């Protein structure tokens, strides 16, 4: 997978409750975008909505397992979260919503700033940004398939269709 | 070279995925033995339907327990609940618990739905609570719960296991919650990320199922994938006549490869308070003593069982809640509340000035009721204290045991319950 886009940078220990408080968890994804990360500060909401790629520090998304945090980021247009290490339920929920998560702590705080252009090549395991190149571990096959399908719902749809046809999932 | 032995978590994943020797870091597709959800099941239902699925596989192995927003707070939540009830009926889900039954983790625990050796998944981050009974219990998202209903499977990254060796005995007035706040402070909120914590050591057998629950529950606050107490005589006793499913307990092999081992000396511990903002800001209660408290919450899946209420009632019996403090008590389940009524603890708490709310998450998630005013501090027996968690980011939350909570409710300031008992008796 090759991806490129504009970066927004966030710090350490941004909890899932801060990404999207529980009181907004039942909004439509579209409506969530107005609130995503606003708990951190109003500028954070604007920054994330302008970005395709989110660079985040340690423990981003820790705490609550509510999927709405990941769903809200995806609805706001974020396609990749990179940095970390990330909290595990955030990792799962992001992947299942088609938001790729790449652990690359080396990149955090290394001169990558808001508005930087970033290029990601998941096959070669390389990230280019601000004149530097970073290595990332390969994306597990199943994760690749889910993200390539669009999200877990799309992946599940084709899985069920294949099983109905008597394919390998039968 | 022969393969090393397997940990409890690896064995459960081996059985449920068909991979004989699952390696840490490897992704396997496993078939959960049991799954449950709560109000957020609406998203699982939505995902299930958008996948084009029509039938929940093994509906006798699926539960939903409404707990987050009960009774409903507004039309939207009421409609969500109605949608979930209709789905549970249409899909003939064997186990549906309506609002007021209790917090889902507690209800699964007390009704024998979580059994040793099983792979349990729940669409909630405190699913690890089920580890108290020797299950591998994993928190998952709502979409993938819908996927599991439809396909019977779920992707799981095989975890490393950390052995937590519990030594010594907790001193009087020091509780499982203090041990956990100590561990989170020591290791940090990502201290065990992607790992399973296996609680063992000489002190482990002496901990009650409720205390084990507190430890496994708050393993989530270490970023862990889960926490687990291997099956023993205490588990067997607790489940006698209760277990809803046949089970086969699983233990780690003697030569299992642990990622590391940590020893905690329980005798060295004292009461802890996690200062506002993050769960790993735990300090000995003395360092927080004297801070003004506006609201005290004795509730949540972490610490609102009968033993917790008994500890609180023991301190509040014959005393009054401070006039500047609101004490909100929310038993973890209706069964817990009934038990507290039988023992007289309920009456003691009411007479001291506690306000009760229906069993459920209540104040913990900040979705409805018990919201704090700007600048207030809530001392809470729950597990999370991130900014805004209880619905107002201009308020603060500190975490503690039921004993510290009860003593502080009387004095109006953060108080060490041990001194309190000594001076006021
Ligand atoms: S009581 Fe709190 S931590 Fe427990 S399940 Fe409910 S919201 Fe989550």
| Mean pLDDT on A2-29 | 92
Nearest ligand 1 atom, CA B125: 8
Say if B38 is an interface residue toward chain A (CB within 8 Å).
no
pTM surpassing 0.90?
A: yes
Q: Which pLDDT belongs to residue B419?
A: 84
Contact check, Cβ <8 Å, B141/A93: yes
pLDDT at B367 over 70: yes
H or E element at residue A118: strand A117-121
Report residue A99's pLDDT band, with 50, 70 and 90 as the boundaries: very high
Nearest ligand 1 atom, CA B302: 4
Closest CA to A69 of B227, B142, B122, B105: B142
A35 to chain B nearest CA, in Å? 13
Contact check, Cβ <8 Å, A63/B77: no
Residue B254 near residue B369 (C-beta atoms within 8 A):
no
| Mean pLDDT on A98-125 | 92
Closest CA to B336 of B210, B220, B219: B210
Report residue A111's pLDDT band, with 50, 70 and 90 as the boundaries: confident
For residues A92 and A143, what is the distance between their CA atoms, to the nearest angstrom? Answer: 9
A84-93, B207-216, B364-373: which is most confident: B207-216
Q: Which pLDDT belongs to residue B421?
A: 59
Q: What is the DSSP string of B31-86?
A: --SEEEE-TTHHHHHHHHHHTT----SSGGGEEEE--SS-S--SHHHHHHHHHHHH
Residue range B311-335, pLDDT digits in tens? 999 999 999 999 999 999 999 999 9
Query: Whole-angstrom distance between the N-terminal and C-terminal Cα of chain A?
Result: 29
| Mean pLDDT on B36-58 | 97
Say if B124 is an interface residue toward chain A (CB within 8 Å).
yes
pLDDT at B388 over 90: no
Two tokens, residue B259: 């990622």
Q: Which pLDDT belongs to residue B4?
A: 83
Contact check, Cβ <8 Å, B139/A65: yes
Q: Which pLDDT belongs to residue B133?
A: 98
Contact check, Cβ <8 Å, B50/A157: yes
Say if B152 is an interface residue toward chain A (CB within 8 Å).
no
Residue ID of nearest Cα to ligand 1 atom 6: B361
Residue A14 near residue A41 (C-beta atoms within 8 A):
no
DSSP code of residue B259: S
pLDDT at B425 over 50: no
For residues B73 and B61, what is the distance between their CA atoms, to the nearest angstrom? Answer: 29
User: B residues 212-241 near A, CB within 8 Å?
Assistant: 220, 223, 225
Report residue B400's pLDDT band, with 50, 70 and 90 as the boundaries: very high
pLDDT at B361 over 50: yes
A58-67, B254-263, B364-373: which is most confident: B254-263
**Strand-pair partners of B198:** B163, B228
Backbone angles phi, psi at B336, to 5 degrees: -65, -40
pLDDT at A170 over 60: no
Say if A15 is an interface residue toward chain B (CB within 8 Å).
yes
**Strand-pair partners of B333:** B102
Residue range B223-267, pLDDT digits in tens? 999 999 999 999 999 999 999 999 999 999 999 999 999 999 999
pLDDT at B423 over 50: no
Closest Cα in chain A to B76: A26
Which value does ipTM take for this structure? 0.90
| Mean pLDDT on B368-380 | 94
| Mean pLDDT on A117-130 | 92
H or E element at residue A127: strand A126-129
Residue range B118-171, pLDDT digits in tens? 999 999 999 999 999 999 999 999 999 999 999 999 999 999 999 999 999 999
Q: Which pLDDT belongs to residue B1?
A: 59
Decide which of A141 and B212 is more confident.
B212
Q: How many CA atoms lie within 13 A of B217 on its CB side?
A: 25
Q: Which pLDDT belongs to residue B424?
A: 45
Say if B144 is an interface residue toward chain A (CB within 8 Å).
yes
Q: Which residue ranges have their beta carbon within 6 Å of ligand 1?
A: B 103, 105, 124, 126, 300-301, 361, 364-365, 382-383
Nearest to A23 among B125, B384, B391 (CB): B391
Contact check, Cβ <8 Å, B143/A97: yes
CA of B169 to the centre of ligand 1 (A): 28
pLDDT at B198 over 90: yes
C-alpha distance from residue A103 to each of A142, A149, B104 (Å): 16, 21, 32
Closest CA to B102 of B298, B337, B360: B360
Pairing relation of β-strands B282-284 and B226-228? Answer: unpaired
Residue range A72-81, pLDDT digits in tens? 999 999 999 9
Average pLDDT, chain A: 92
For residues B362 and B354, what is the distance between their CA atoms, to the nearest angstrom? Answer: 15
Who contacts A126 (Cβ-Cβ below 8 Å, separation ≥6)?
Answer: A120, A133, A134, A135, A136
pLDDT at A168 over 80: no
The share of chain B scoring above pLDDT 70, in percent, equals 98
Residue ID of nearest Cα to ligand 1 atom 2: B364
Site of tokens 């507004």: B74
Residue A58: list chain B partners with CB under 8 A: 190
Contact check, Cβ <8 Å, A159/B151: yes
Q: Is residue B286 helix, strand or coil?
A: helix
């Amino acid at each position: 997978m090759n991806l490129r886009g504009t970066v927004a940078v966030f710090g350490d220990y941004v909890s899932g409750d801060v990404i999207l408080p529980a009181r907004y968890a039942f909004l439509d994804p579209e409506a969530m975008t107005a609130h995503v990360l606003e708990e951190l500060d109003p500028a954070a909401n604007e920054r994330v909505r302008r970005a395709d790629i989110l660079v985040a520090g340690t423990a981003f998304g820790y705490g609550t397992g509510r999927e709405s945090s990941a769903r809200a980021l995806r609805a706001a247009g974020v396609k990749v979260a990179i940095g970390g290490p990330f909290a595990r339920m955030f990792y799962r929920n992001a992947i299942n919503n088609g938001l790729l998560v790449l652990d690359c702590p080396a990149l955090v705080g290394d001169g990558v700033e808001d508005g930087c252009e970033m290029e990601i090549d998941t096959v070669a395991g390389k990230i280019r940004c601000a004149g530097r190149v970073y290595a990332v571990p390969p994306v597990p096959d199943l994760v690749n398939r889910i993200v390539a399908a669009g999200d877990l719902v799309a992946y599940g749809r084709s899985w069920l269709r294949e099983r109905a046809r008597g394919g390998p999932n039968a | 070279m022969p393969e090393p032995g397997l940990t409890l978590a690896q064995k459960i994943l081996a059985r449920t995925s068909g991979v004989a020797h699952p390696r840490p870091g490897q992704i396997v597709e496993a078939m959960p033995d049991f799954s449950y959800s709560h109000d957020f099941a609406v998203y699982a239902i939505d995902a299930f339907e958008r996948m084009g699925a029509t039938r929940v596989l093994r509906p006798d192995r699926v539960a939903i327990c409404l707990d987050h927003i009960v009774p409903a707070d507004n039309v939207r939540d009421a409609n969500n609940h109605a949608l979930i009830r209709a789905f549970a009926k249409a899909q003939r889900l064997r186990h549906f618990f309506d609002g007021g039954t209790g917090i889902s983790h507690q209800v699964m625990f007390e009704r024998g739905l979580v059994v040793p050796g099983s792979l349990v998944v729940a669409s909630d981050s405190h699913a690890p609570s089920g580890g108290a009974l020797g299950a591998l219990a994993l928190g998952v998202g709502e979409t993938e719960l819908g996927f599991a209903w439809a396909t019977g499977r779920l992707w799981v990254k095989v975890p490393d296991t950390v052995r937590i060796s519990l030594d010594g005995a907790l001193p009087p007035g020091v509780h499982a919650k203090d041990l956990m706040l100590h561990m989170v402070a020591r290791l940090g909120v990502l201290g065990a990320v992607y790992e399973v914590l296996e609680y063992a050591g000489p002190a482990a057998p002496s901990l009650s199922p409720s205390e084990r629950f507190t430890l496994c529950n708050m393993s989530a606050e270490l970023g862990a994938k889960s926490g687990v107490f291997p099956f023993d005589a205490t588990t067997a006793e607790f489940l006698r006549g209760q277990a809803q499913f046949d089970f086969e307990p699983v233990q780690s092999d003697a030569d299992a490869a642990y990622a590391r081992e940590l020893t905690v000396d329980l005798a060295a511990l004292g009461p802890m308070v996690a200062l506002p903002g993050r769960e790993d800001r735990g300090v000995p209660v003395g360092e927080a003593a004297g801070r003004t408290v506006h609201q005290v919450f004795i509730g949540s899946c972490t610490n609102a069982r009968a033993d917790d209420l008994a500890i609180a009632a023991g301190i509040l019996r014959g005393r009054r809640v401070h006039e500047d403090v609101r004490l909100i008590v929310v038993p973890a389940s209706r069964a817990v509340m009934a038990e507290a009524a039988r023992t007289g603890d309920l009456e003691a708490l009411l007479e001291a000035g506690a306000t009760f709310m229906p069993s459920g998450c209540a104040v913990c998630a900040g979705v409805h009721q018990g919201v704090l005013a700007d600048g207030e501090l809530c001392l809470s027996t729950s597990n999370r204290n991130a900014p805004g968690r209880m619905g107002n980011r201009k308020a603060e939350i500190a975490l503690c045991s039921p004993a510290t909570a009860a003593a502080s409710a009387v004095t109006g300031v953060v108080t060490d319950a041990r001194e309190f008992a000594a001076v006021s008796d």
